[in-house]
Amino acid sequence: MPLQDFATSEPLTLGVELELQLISTHDQNLVPQAEDLLRETARHTGAWDIKPEIARSMIEIGSSIQREHGPLLAELRDMRDQLVRASRRLNIGIAGGGTHAYQHWSEQQIYPGERFNYLSDLYGYLAKQFIVFGQHVHVGCPNGDDALWLLHALSRYVPHFIALAGSSPFVQGQDTGFDSARLNAVFAFPLSGRAPFVRSWSEFGTYFDKMTDTGVVKSMKDFYWDIRPKPEYGTIELRVCDTPLTVEKAAALACYLQAICRYLIQERPFEPAEDDYLVYTYNRFQACRFGLDGEVVNPQTKQRSRLRDDIVRTLAKVDAHAVDLKSWDACQQIRDSLGEGNDATWLRRLHRTGMPLSEVVETAARRWSGAV
């Protein structure tokens, strides 16, 4: 299949996708009721959508095309409220978070569908270990060349979003020591990581043709890169965020990304280079492992700094753009979270008070619903 043309879209428009956990109200474990919830929400009101994901214990919701923080947040809250009402009718809970705290992959069920069955057959047990939950953010781009420029320019900021969104400290009942253990499951896939350093859509088409000729790749969906182009939408898609515990955090992360993109496009503070990726894996690991306390290396100056401090400096640079985009409140929420800590910190804090993990999961579901 040849690479399709890159669709034109309005620059800096946003789309947000959230993968969500379906929780048993009996033992707070994952529960395979995606089909029931999809039937219950089939006639939802709103321009957003809901669809199945790889496991029967998860769903994905997606916003309509958005431009500003206020309308995006209002739509995410509407999604949440309708989903919560539907889940209560089914006597299940819904939660954010990048991993479930104690589910076991071997007990999970693949959602019946051609692509999900294909992934299960191809990747074996990795498909079930891939039952993790992320937030994806799409940013509109006018053409493929601009999309690839922005994709590579954003590579320096990937650790920001990993650390800010970190909400997966627990895996199979254990504290992993990571703020984002979810990404360790993603990294196991052979086509994960960073996109190749190509700068034009025609050059990317050549790369895509080579990959499809090998038989390794059939479509863009086969790439699990941290940021990937989505030509059918005319966007780039940031994929490194754990699903936050609240829709308010999800909206703030999306609009922080939007402000950074506007800053990069309008001010062009640097030109992306292949050497930017020399420290990419190190910086990404630091963000996954230590969250906001991680250390990052600037690929241009080679200077080291705390990730929290790098975010503070970036917020100062993008504040004026956030004002123009009507998302200053979102960036202020990001600023406030630097002192409060990310969702992984909140989950650990609950557990360290002596709260069992089942109650931690229950409290996280209540937080998603807006009750905490």
Lowest mean pLDDT among 8-17, 25-34, 102-111, 253-262: 102-111
Mean pLDDT of 109-135: 82
- Position 115 scores a pLDDT of 82
- Position 79 scores a pLDDT of 95
Q: Where are the domains of the chain?
A: 13-369
164 touches 252 (CB < 8 A): no
62 touches 118 (CB < 8 A): no
- Position 122 scores a pLDDT of 76
**Cα–Cα distance measured from residue 239 to residue 236, given in angstroms and rounded to the nearest whole number:** 10
Give per-residue pLDDT as tens, 215-263: 888 888 889 999 999 999 999 999 999 999 999 999 999 999 999 999 9
Per-residue tokens: 312 = 């503070």
Query: Is residue 351 over pLDDT 80?
Result: yes
**Cα–Cα distance measured from residue 20 to residue 9, given in angstroms and rounded to the nearest whole number:** 27
- Position 232 scores a pLDDT of 95
- Position 44 scores a pLDDT of 87
**Cα–Cα distance measured from residue 233 to residue 348, given in angstroms and rounded to the nearest whole number:** 38
Query: Is residue 77 over pLDDT 80?
Result: yes
> What is the share, in percent, of the chain residues with pLDDT greater than 70?
100
Query: Is residue 179 over pLDDT 80?
Result: yes
Say which CATH topology domain 13-369 has.
Creatine Kinase; Chain A, domain 2 (3.30.590)
Query: Is residue 127 over pLDDT 80?
Result: no
23 touches 94 (CB < 8 A): yes
- Position 194 scores a pLDDT of 95
Mean pLDDT over the full length of the chain = 94
- Position 335 scores a pLDDT of 97
Which is higher by pLDDT, 7 or 47? 7
Q: Which pLDDT band, with edges at 50, 70 and 90, does 111 fall under?
A: confident
- Position 216 scores a pLDDT of 81
Query: Is residue 86 over pLDDT 90?
Result: yes
- Position 58 scores a pLDDT of 94
- Position 54 scores a pLDDT of 80
Which is higher by pLDDT, 127 or 145? 145
- Position 120 scores a pLDDT of 82
- Position 130 scores a pLDDT of 76
Q: Which pLDDT band, with edges at 50, 70 and 90, does 128 fall under?
A: confident
Mean pLDDT of 291-313: 96
325 touches 11 (CB < 8 A): no
Tally of helices (H runs) and strands (E runs) in the chain: 14, 13
Query: Is residue 132 over pLDDT 80?
Result: yes
6 touches 201 (CB < 8 A): yes
**Cα–Cα distance measured from residue 126 to residue 326, given in angstroms and rounded to the nearest whole number:** 41
Query: Is residue 275 over pLDDT 90?
Result: yes
Which is higher by pLDDT, 116 or 139? 139
User: Cβ contacts of residue 244 below 8 Å, gap of 6+?
Assistant: 96, 135, 165, 167, 250, 253, 343
**Cα–Cα distance measured from residue 204 to residue 364, given in angstroms and rounded to the nearest whole number:** 41
**Cα–Cα distance measured from residue 340 to residue 334, given in angstroms and rounded to the nearest whole number:** 10
CA distances from 186 to 131, 163, 183, 197, 349 (A): 10, 16, 5, 21, 26
94 touches 51 (CB < 8 A): no
Mean pLDDT of 104-108: 82
